[in-house]
Amino acid sequence: MRLFVGDDWAEDHHDVEVMDAAGKVLAKKRLPEGVAGMTQLHELIGRLVPEDAEDAEVVIGIGTDRGPWVAALVAAGYVVFPVNPLQASRYRERHGVAGAKSDRGYSHMLADMVRTDSHQLRPAAGDSPEAEGIKVVARTHKTLIWDRTRAVQRLRHQLREYFPAALEAFEDLDARDTLELLGKAPDPARARRLTRAQVAATLKRARRRDIAGKTDAILAALRGEHLGQPAALTAAYAATARSLIAVITTLNEQVKALEEQVRDHFGRHPDAEIYRSQPGMGAILGARVLGEFGDDLHRYADGKARKNYAATSPITRASGKKKVVTARFIHNDRLIDALMTQAFSSLNASPGARAFYDELRAKGTEHNDALRRLANRLVGILHGCLKTRTLYDEATAWGHRENLPQSSVAA
């Protein structure tokens, strides 16, 4: 016996619908979030499963793949299919073009989708708690880095409006010495009053080299002639700049602190050594890739499946006589960012990767496309290492290419 459940989740409730294999609606209910809601769901399903039913299976479609609710569904033994919103939208268009949408209608659509199209969906991965923990800390670490970049760009924009000398004096606006000096002198007038001793001491605390030369360059830029703004407007800009400086300083501290957590969580995972053995991949990058791929041994049927999930493999669109091969634009941004970074780093770490990239470039392939193809090869190599539980070996990974014709260089 099989029951199909559609779960349209919200922050504080779940609209669920249960149907049988024939598509007949058996029950509809709104459940609260949390333990109470999960208990009611178990009771609802229990009433619909006959006592003499053997090997009953409950298949659930839900629009998320994470959180305590999904974890509880998987732990209860239900087959859970996280449904991508784009997939759900396309399925809904198959049955109506008006565009109408409601919570109860959405749960009905999810139930019907897992009833008819579950073979096209990917079940929730059975990743270990350790892998999920790595994913949490690695994602947050990367998010803080992105937040810092945004804050630095806002600070740069503010300084350009009222204090262009600061942009000439300081190259890295998120550097410790830059933030300290700008915090002391966030406007042109105070910057001109900075002494040589103050600047030199700040550079020394930041462990800079050529302190005398850098001090001369900074003071020359801050005391040079530049266009300015009226005093009242400058004071307003200086106040906002100080706030941004405080934000960036805090983000620097938290990025560094969380980096240690990423290393610690990643180092305890049994696959860490295999990931670290890959060319161009250290602990932080390895944690990001492991967190996004997960560690479920049955999630990827083969290397091609892993490449498709990574979005490093190309996608073909063919219609009639027209055939176009392009990169995948729908992808996991965090995973593709980490894999492209690894591909770039591997150019100096792996002679085979360097040769592969150079051959592509010699054929006229653009830099980004060549990196994407290299990343695709590296994903396949990683899959093989994980499958066989072996560390990366340069000769094994690239030695076979010596006897291949040049035309076979493709991803």
What does the pLDDT profile of the chain (411 residues) look like in tens digits? Answer: 889 999 998 889 999 999 999 999 999 999 999 999 999 999 999 899 877 667 788 999 998 888 899 989 988 889 999 988 877 777 777 665 555 566 678 899 899 999 988 888 888 878 899 999 999 999 999 999 999 999 999 999 999 999 999 999 998 999 999 999 999 999 999 999 999 999 999 999 999 999 999 999 999 999 988 888 899 999 999 999 999 999 999 999 999 999 999 999 999 999 999 999 999 999 999 999 999 999 988 888 899 999 999 999 887 777 666 777 676 766 789 999 999 999 999 999 999 999 999 999 999 999 999 999 999 999 999 999 999 999 999 999 998 776 443 444 444
What residue type is 375 in one-letter code?
A: A
pLDDT for residue 409: 43
User: Where do the H-state alpha helices sit in 278-321?
Assistant: 283-293, 303-310
pLDDT for residue 402: 60
Give the Cα separation of 353 and 377 in Å (integer).
9
Angle at 321 between CA 315 and CA 326, to 5 degrees: 20
**Other CB atoms closer than 10 Å to residue 26's CB: what's the count?**
16
- For helices 333-349 and 303-310, what crossing angle results, to 10°? 110
pLDDT for residue 220: 93
pLDDT for residue 98: 53
Joined tokens for residue 118: 């579950």
pLDDT for residue 60: 93
Residue 123 has what DSSP assignment?
P
pLDDT for residue 210: 92
Angle at 344 between CA 338 and CA 350, to 5 degrees: 115
- The residues, ordered by sequence, that sit 6+ positions from 67 with a Cβ below 8 Å of its Cβ are none
pLDDT for residue 410: 45
Give the Cα separation of 218 and 313 in Å (integer).
48
- The residues, ordered by sequence, that sit 6+ positions from 102 with a Cβ below 8 Å of its Cβ are none
Give the Cα separation of 77 and 38 in Å (integer).
13
pLDDT for residue 100: 56
Give the Cα separation of 170 and 181 in Å (integer).
10
pLDDT for residue 133: 94
Cα separations in angstroms, 398 against 25, 53, 303, 355, 409: 56, 54, 16, 9, 12
